Structure 1
C-alpha cells in the first residue's frame, strides 16, 4: 500500500515537472514571438516570425501570424500604390485642366480687348474657344465616367451583340480621318456574325478609344488595322498599327488612370490618360480582357478578348 502511494506521488511529481517544463517552453516561445512581432511593427518591415519549435500548437499559431503579416504587407503596398496613384491623378488632372483653361482665358481676353478684330478673325477665335471648351468638358466627362465605373455606378446592360458589326460601324466612323492622314487601312472582319454577351455602346466606346489611340500614337507607321477572329469559344478583336509603339517600361501601366507616356503632354501627342483606363474597365465589365503587345515601328496590338455565345 505504501509502495503504491509512493509510486503515485512520484508519478504526480514527474507529471507536474513535465507540465512546468512544457509551460516554460511555451512561455519562452510566446515571448520570442512577442519580441519578433514588436520589432516588425516598430520597424514596419516585411519580415516574418521565424523561430525554432517542436510544439505543434506554436507552429499552427506561427503559420496564421505569418499569413496575417503577408496580408498586412499586401494591404500596405496596395494603399501606398493607391496613394501614389491618387496623387499623380490629381497632379495630372490639374495639369490637363489648367492648360486648356489658360488657353480659354486667353481667347476670351482677346475677344474682349481687341476691338479692331474683324468678323473673320472673331469667328476664328470663337471657334477655337468653342473647341477648347468642348475639350475640357470631354475630359471632365471621361473623369466622372471613370469614377462611376470604379464605384459600380455605371449601368451596362448586357445582351447578345454581333461584335463584328460593331467593329465595322466603329471603323467606318474613323475612315475619313484615317484617309485624311494618309493611313492605309487593313481590315479583316468576317461577314459571319460572331456573337458575345455585351453592350453595343460600351463596345463602340472601347473600339473608338483604341482607334483614337492608334491614330494619335501610331499614325507615323502609315498603317492601321483591325482583325476580328474566332478562337475556340472566344472572339478576339485586334487593333494594331506599325507606329512608334509603346516602350516596355510603359506597357504594364498604360491602363492606369491618368497615366500618360512622357511625351503625351506635348501638343502633338496630347492625351488625358483616361481613355485606356476606361477601355479596360468597360472590357472587364463585359467579362472580357484586354492585352497589349508592342514592338516599336514593327507592330503594336491591343487585343480585346470576349467569350463567344452561340444562342
Structure 2
C-alpha cells in the first residue's frame, strides 16, 4: 500500500511540474508577443499623441498585473484539475487491477476505499456487486447440493420397497411358493410396496412443484370452519384406526380466508397424518382456527408424546423423521412437513411447531387477504 501511494504521489508531482513548466513557457510566450506588438504599435501612437504617454504607461502596468493574476489563477485551477484527473486515472487503474484479481477466483477480496477515495461511490457499488454475485453463486451451489441430496435420499428410500417388489414378484414368477395362500401373501406385499413407491413419487413431485416460487395458486374465498368439518369427516376412519378422535374448534360458523383450497387441504392432511403416525398413544387431534386483525391462525394439536426442542427445530427439513428409535416401521417419504411448509410459504404465511407435556402443536398463519406481492 505504501509503495502504491508513493508511486501515485510521484506521478502526481511529475504531472504538476510538467504542466507548470508548460504554462510558464506559454506565459512568457504571450508576454513576448505582447511586447513585440507594443514596441511596433505604441511608439507611433505616443509620437502622435505626446499627452497620452502617462495613460499608456498606466494601462501597460495595469494590463500586465491583471493578466498575470488572471493567468496565475487560471493556471493553478488548470493544474489542480489535471492533478485531480490524474489521481482518478491512477485510482481507476487500481480498481481495474483489483477487479482482475477478483475475477481470478479471489471472491473473498474487496476493493479498499481508502486507496480510491475519489471514486468511493464506484468502489462501493463494485463491492456490493461482488457481494451479490458471491451470494448468488453460493445459493446456486446450495441449490445444486440440495438437488443432489434430494436425489440421493430419494434413491435410498425408493431402493428398499423397489427391492421388495422385485423380490416378491420374482418369487411369484419362478413359482417359488409352497401354497396359494403364500402366493397371495407375496402378491399383497408386492402391492403394498408398490403403493409405497407411488406415494413417494407423488410426494417428490408435489415437493418439487411447491418449492418453485412461481408456482401458480388458485385463490378463492374459503369457508374455513366448513373445510375443517369436512376434513374431520374424511379422516374419521383413519383416526379411529389409531384410537383418536378429531375435534374441530372454530369460533364462528362463517369465517372466510383467501387461499388455494386444494393445496391447503394437503397441508391439513399432512399434519393430521403426521399426528396419527408420530403422535404416540394420544387420544385426540384438535383443529383450531383463530381470526386475528391481519392474519388467521390455524393449529393442529395432539396429546401425544412431547417432542424435544432439538427435534422441533428440524421438523420441516425434508427427510427428517426425528428420533429413529421412535419411528421404526413407520412408512413415509419424509417430505410431508417440508411440503407443508412450502405451501404455507407460497401463501405468504409462516409455520412452526411447539411441544410441551400437554400437547404438540403445529401452528401456521395466513394473511387474511392474499396478494401476489405478499404481506
Give the TM-score normalised by structure 1.
Answer: 0.83
Structure 2: how far apart are the matches of 1:129 and 1:54? 71
Alignment correspondent of 1:10: 72
Counting only pairs closer than 5 Å after superposition, residues 17-32 of structure 1 correspond to structure 2 as 17-32=79-94
Question: Are 2:149 and 1:97 equivalent residues in the alignment?
Answer: no
Alignment correspondent of 2:174: 113
SS of 2:351's partner is: strand
Structure 2: how far apart are the matches of 1:150 and 1:225? 28
Structure 2: how far apart are the matches of 1:153 and 1:53? 44
Counting only pairs closer than 5 Å after superposition, residues 124-135 of structure 1 correspond to structure 2 as 124-135=185-196
Q: Compared with structure 1, are the counterparts of its residues 31 and 88 closer, same or farther at alpha carbon in structure 2 (3 Å cutoff)?
A: same
Alignment correspondent of 2:218: 157
C-alpha contact 2:352 2:364 (8 A) present in aligned 1:
no
Question: Are 2:354 and 1:294 equivalent residues in the alignment?
Answer: yes
Residues 151-186 of structure 1 show CA distances to partners (whole Å, capped at 9, x for unaligned) of 578664322211122122223333333333234655
Structure 1: how far apart are the matches of 2:319 and 2:127? 35
Question: Are 2:317 and 1:225 equivalent residues in the alignment?
Answer: no
Structure 2: how far apart are the matches of 1:165 and 1:117? 53
Q: Compared with structure 1, are the counterparts of its residues 48 and 54 closer, same or farther at alpha carbon in structure 2 (3 Å cutoff)?
A: closer
Larger Rg computed on CA atoms: 2
C-alpha contact 1:157 1:199 (8 A) present in aligned 2:
yes
Q: Compared with structure 1, are the counterparts of its residues 244 and 128 closer, same or farther at alpha carbon in structure 2 (3 Å cutoff)?
A: farther
Q: Compared with structure 1, are the counterparts of its residues 155 and 55 closer, same or farther at alpha carbon in structure 2 (3 Å cutoff)?
A: closer
SS of 2:178's partner is: coil
Q: Compared with structure 1, are the counterparts of its residues 66 and 38 closer, same or farther at alpha carbon in structure 2 (3 Å cutoff)?
A: same
SS of 1:243's partner is: coil
Structure 2: how far apart are the matches of 1:36 and 1:249? 46
Q: Compared with structure 1, are the counterparts of its residues 30 and 190 closer, same or farther at alpha carbon in structure 2 (3 Å cutoff)?
A: same
Query: Any unmatched runs of 5+ in structure 2?
Result: 1-62, 370-375
Residue 150 of structure 1 deviates from its aligned partner by: 4.3
Q: CA RMSD in A?
A: 3.1
Counting only pairs closer than 5 Å after superposition, residues 225-264 of structure 1 correspond to structure 2 as 225-241=286-302, 242-245=304-307, 247-248=309-310, 251=313, 254-256=315-317, 258-261=318-321, 263=323
Residue 130 of structure 1 deviates from its aligned partner by: 1.2
Question: Are 2:366 and 1:306 equivalent residues in the alignment?
Answer: yes
